[in-house]
């Protein structure tokens, strides 16, 4: 198995890993801006886009991600952040820098983890029954995406996904599958780490602070003003400025 990728630009490599229901194409505007100074690899995660037929849990998906991206800076949003976090822990030799956007290291409470897996299983069943378009209407109506404008949600690439692919992603790479969660391992991450969250996404802003504290002195938190969970889509210019500052530190 291998993951579909799109590569543009030249220079230090940056691998962009999308969130659930998206594809690598969702990163296209950001990739175009970064490609002036970087080789940018946009990956289709297992169950999505050109990797729709790939089935992999988080550790296996991280292994596939590393094979597709090689040694690079990895930028992962939400589900993509979970993949990038696993890669940074399992293959630190491949991760020069790590950027986690709206991501978590898992759910601490075993009961809550089991409940999350059950909810994701129900969502996967619903997706297979009703199809992608109807599922997306419900998915993007969640409070988590209340600040995401429809014209920034990249619905065309999301709708190109298959029910079977997205259902497999829910079952295999949902937050509840991080069992045990990764919090106790985060101090092993030596790569410079940037944790990003939308300032309006108070839940993931708090999780982001916890991630930074768990990783240690090589990690820092950046909050994107006036943005929610999908801060890179809601405020792309502010997100790009934050990312560029991290990729090209002073001196």
pLDDT for 1: 85
State the SS3 of the chain: CCCCEEEECCCCEEEEECCCCCCHHHHHHHHHHHCCCCEEEEECCCCCHHHCCCCCCHHHHHHHHHHHHCCEEEEEECHHHHHHHHHHHHCHHHEEEEEEECCCCCCCCHHHHHHHHHHHHHHHHHHHHHCHHHHHHHHCCCHHHCCCCHHHCCHHHHHCCCHHHHHHHHHHHCHHHCCCCCHHHHHHCCCCEEEEEECCCHHHHHHHHHHHHHHCCCEEEEEECCCCCCHHHHCHHHHHHHHHHHHCCCC
CB 78 within 8 A of CB 69: no
pLDDT tens string for the chain (251 positions)? 899 999 999 999 999 999 999 999 999 999 999 999 999 999 999 999 999 999 999 999 999 999 999 999 999 999 999 999 999 999 999 999 999 999 999 999 999 999 999 999 999 999 999 999 999 999 999 999 999 999 999 999 999 999 999 999 999 999 999 999 999 999 999 999 999 999 999 999 999 999 999 999 999 999 999 999 999 999 999 999 999 999 986 65
pLDDT for 229: 98
Report the candidate in 105, 50, 59, 96 with the shortest Cα–Cα distance to residue 215: 105
Give the number of domains in the chain.
Answer: 1
Which residues form the domain of 104? Answer: 5-247
**CATH number, domain containing residue 78:** 3.40.50.1820
Q: Model's pTM, two decimal places?
A: 0.97
Distance between CA atoms of 235 and 224, rounded to whole angstroms? Answer: 8
pLDDT for 251: 59
pLDDT for 250: 64
Distance between CA atoms of 171 and 124, rounded to whole angstroms? Answer: 7
């Amino acid at each position: 198995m291998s993951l579909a990728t799109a590569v543009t630009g030249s220079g230090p490599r940056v691998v962009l890993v999308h969130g659930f229901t998206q594809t690598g194409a969702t990163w296209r505007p950001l990739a175009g801006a970064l490609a002036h100074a970087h080789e940018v690899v946009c990956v289709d995660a297992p169950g999505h886009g050109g990797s729709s037929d790939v089935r992999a849990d988080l550790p296996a998906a991280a292994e596939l991600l590393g094979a597709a991206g090689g040694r690079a800076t990895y930028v992962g949003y939400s589900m993509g952040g979970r993949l990038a976090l696993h890669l940074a822990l399992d293959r630190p030799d491949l991760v020069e820098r790590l950027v986690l956007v709206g991501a978590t290291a898992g759910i601490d409470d075993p009961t809550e983890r089991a409940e999350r897996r059950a909810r994701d299983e129900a969502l996967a069943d619903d997706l297979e029954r009703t199809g992608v378009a109807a599922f997306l209407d419900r998915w993007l109506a969640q409070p988590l995406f209340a600040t995401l404008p429809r014209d920034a949600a990249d619905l065309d690439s999301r709708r190109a996904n298959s029910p079977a692919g997205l259902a497999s992603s829910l079952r295999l790479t949902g937050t509840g599958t991080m069992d045990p969660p990764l919090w106790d391992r985060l101090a092993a991450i030596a790569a410079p780490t940037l944790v990003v969250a939308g300032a309006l996404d108070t839940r993931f802003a708090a999780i982001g602070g916890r991630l930074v504290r768990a990783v240690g002195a090589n990690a820092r938190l950046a909050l994107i003003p006036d943005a929610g969970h999908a801060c890179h889509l809601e405020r792309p210019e502010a997100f790009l400025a934050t990312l560029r500052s991290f990729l090209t530190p002073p001196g």
